[in-house]
Amino acid sequence: MNQSSLKDAWAELTAYSSYVLACHIKPDGDCLGAALALGRALRSLGKDVTVICQDPVPENYRFLPESDTIVQGSVRRDFDVGVLIDSDQPSRVGNVAEIIASCATTARIDHHLTQEDFGDIKIVQTDISSTSELITELFYANEVSIDSSVACMLLTGIIFDTGAFKYSSASSRTFEIVSQLMTAGARPANIIRSIFESKPLRAAKLLGRALSSMRATEDGVIVWAQITVADFRELGVDDSDTEGIVNTVAAISGPRVVMLLRETEPGTVRVSLRSRDQFDVNKIAVAFGGGGHAVASGCTIQAGLDKARELLIAEVRRWMAS
């Protein structure tokens, strides 16, 4: 989005009094950082803002300023604007979708590829590293003050969605923004340590369990790991403890597609997909009602683990053949 578009979008977005900012289920660093930063900016204008997420903030993100203000539910149905942060459609925010639906005006701030056209107000750019980078550009275009807390929030989102700058989505402009956020007071080393190097012991044990389950197709082009309901129960973990596992699986050489399947409850499998060699796993995720990016996507399949894996492999094979 150019400067003029960002100015127009900000003027349209800030024309109201009350807002509910919705994070997607299983919140990550980008949606949390972006939502908290936008909430702080709107409050500085005197707006009534609630940041909400169906799931609790994961332990490794509780270092974020104001993360303790994120609520998991609300009885309010009188918000002027419902904003999807880092999501393309209401289904991504779980039971918060009901609150979004009650708003007279809806908005979407996102960087994901999608066929959805949700939102009366759209601030969307798909060729950018993260929603947090997009919001940073929105703030710069409209001279919104970025203090050290906001800088920390935004840099957290950028670091998470670029894999600490490992992914090709980190552009030269991304690094310019990182430099500016550091000048404002954000500390990348502290953020990286908190996100990636502060796992509880139970999460480390879960990683071991997942890695021990790794298998590959005969030709080695598809590799998967899985976590069962029994694993979750035995180790006393939940789905938030699986963050980062798929990237560890994807670090091995050889496969074009890597999958992590998590049986969060009997008959429900959450799937994280990663790819190499320009294979577009977003197409795989979309086939099962999910979405994301060409190199990193996700979906949920209502089936048992074995059936879900069978369906996924068949879909990957279908796209490879085409």
Tens digits of per-residue pLDDT, 182-226?
999 999 999 999 999 998 999 999 999 999 999 999 999 999 999
Confidence band for 232, pLDDT divided at 50, 70 and 90 = very high
At residue 100, the pLDDT reads 98
Q: 271 with 227: CB under 8 angstroms?
A: no
Per the prediction, the chain carries an average pLDDT of 95
At residue 2, the pLDDT reads 86
Q: 84 with 107: CB under 8 angstroms?
A: yes
Tens digit of each residue's pLDDT (9 = 90 or more) over 142-152? 999 999 999 99
User: What's the mean pLDDT in 33-50?
Assistant: 98
Tokens of 167: 């992914």
| H runs (alpha helix) in the chain | 3-13, 29-44, 97-101, 131-141, 148-161, 172-183, 188-196, 201-212, 229-235, 245-250, 281-287, 305-321
In single-letter form, the type of residue at position 164 comes to A
Beta strands at 215-216 and 296-301: parallel, antiparallel or unpaired: unpaired
At residue 81, the pLDDT reads 98
Q: 259 with 273: CB under 8 angstroms?
A: yes
The residue with greater pLDDT, 160 or 114, is 160
Q: What is the set of domains in the chain, with CATH numbers?
A: 3-196 (3.90.1640.10), 201-321 (3.10.310.30)
User: What's the mean pLDDT in 219-246?
Assistant: 95
- Whether 166 has a pLDDT exceeding 80, the answer reads yes
Question: In whole angstroms, how large is the CA radius of gyration of the chain?
Answer: 19
- Whether 322 has a pLDDT exceeding 90, the answer reads no
- Whether 168 has a pLDDT exceeding 90, the answer reads no
Confidence band for 54, pLDDT divided at 50, 70 and 90 = very high
Give the predicted TM-score (pTM) of the model.
Answer: 0.90
Phi, psi values for residue 301, rounded to 5°: -120, 130
Rounded to whole angstroms, the Cα distance separating 126 from 210 reads: 32
Confidence band for 287, pLDDT divided at 50, 70 and 90 = very high
Strand intervals (E) in 37-155: 48-52, 81-85, 105-110, 121-124
Tokens of 168: 């090709």
User: What's the mean pLDDT in 95-108?
Assistant: 97
* Residue 237 CB coordination number (10 Å): 18
Q: 120 with 106: CB under 8 angstroms?
A: yes
Q: 81 with 56: CB under 8 angstroms?
A: no
- 35 Cβ contact list (under 8 Å, min separation 6): 21, 22, 23, 51, 53, 70, 85, 86
Rounded to whole angstroms, the Cα distance separating 214 from 210 reads: 7
Q: In the beta sheet, which residues pair with residue 279?
A: none
User: What's the mean pLDDT in 171-186?
Assistant: 98
Percentages helix, strand, coil for the chain (3-state, rounded to 5) are: 45, 20, 35
- 75 Cβ contact list (under 8 Å, min separation 6): none
- Whether 312 has a pLDDT exceeding 80, the answer reads yes
Rounded to whole angstroms, the Cα distance separating 201 from 203 reads: 5
Confidence band for 4, pLDDT divided at 50, 70 and 90 = confident
